[in-house]
Amino acid sequence: MVFRQGPLISRASRGLRLLGFLALCLSSSLSLAAVNAPAPTARSYLDAGLRLYKEGRYEAAVRELRLGYALEPLPDILYTLGQSARKLGRCEEAIGYYRQYLQGADAASAGAARFQIERCEQQLRDARAAAQPVVPVAAPPPPAAGPPPRPFYRDALGMSLAGVGLGAALAGAGLLIGSVVTARDPHGTLQAFDDALGRAGAMRTAGIILAAGGGALLVGGIIRLSLVARRARGGAR
């Protein structure tokens, strides 16, 4: 049995040529479309970054904005980069973008960038303060208890004044009593009577002096002891 290969080979060759032609046309169309397609610009990247920023996709916005800034350093790209970095919590990076923006910003728009810088700096200070360990403040120790108050009868001065005063007053009273007894005793002669009156007068004078002085010392001692006792009661409370 003999196969006729000629027609089959001819049809396969025509098919291959047709496929090659179609592939050539397709590649030419794609090349032409690539040549005629507009090249991306910094403004288009900025628009894309702004759209992503409004959608809350801040990381993707940063990527688009960096691509745009690489093509053309537009100031608006720097400000939007700062805003996106701040939203991501990267305040130090955001401050760098804001400061770059200030280098070319006009006076009308510089205020917003300065406000954002102060805002980020405050956030950084708050974060550092929150990270610092809180050292507990120890309560001050209670005041040391002083010595117990001294009883009034331990006060040497008060007891001395009262004791000496009491002794002097008793001695004065004794002399006064002795002067009366001496003056009333019977005497045999007038001379003896005169001598007894003299001794009684001297005893009376000395008794008055001792009684008055002793009374004053006794009163002073009692006042002193009462003050000491009052202080002792106040200290005990």
Please give the average pLDDT of every successive group of 10 residues along the chain, which has 237 residues.
50 59 55 50 91 94 93 90 94 94 86 92 91 74 67 74 82 80 68 74 84 84 79 63
Q: What is the pLDDT of residue 200?
A: 75
Task: Name 103's Cβ contacts closer than 8 Å, sequence gap at least 6.
Answer: none
Q: How far apart are CA 195 and CA 177, in angstroms?
A: 17
Q: What is the pLDDT of residue 237?
A: 55
Decide if 159 contacts 142 (C-beta within 8 A): no
Q: What is the pLDDT of residue 181?
A: 75
Given CA atoms 93, 99, 102, 103 in this order, what sign does their dihedral have?
Answer: negative
Half-sphere CA count of 128, side-chain side, radius 13 A: 7
Helices within the chain (DSSP H only): 5-36, 42-54, 58-71, 75-87, 91-104, 107-131, 156-184, 190-236
- H/E/C letters for each residue in 175-198? HHHHHHHHHHCCCCCHHHHHHHHH
Q: What is the pLDDT of residue 96?
A: 94
Per residue in 62-78, pLDDT (tens digit) is: 999 999 999 988 889 99
Q: What is the pLDDT of residue 35?
A: 40
- Its pTM stands at 0.43
Q: What's the Rg (C-alpha) of the chain?
A: 60
Instruction: Kindly list the domain boundaries of the chain, sorted by start residue.
Output: 42-129, 152-236
Phi-psi map region of 148: left, alpha, beta (phi>0 left; psi -120 to 50 alpha): beta
Whether CATH 1.10.1060.10 fits 42-129 = no
Decide if 215 contacts 165 (C-beta within 8 A): yes
Q: What is the pLDDT of residue 48?
A: 92
Decide if 76 contacts 65 (C-beta within 8 A): no
Q: What is the pLDDT of residue 164?
A: 87
Q: In the numeric block, which tokens belong to residue 176?
A: 């006064």
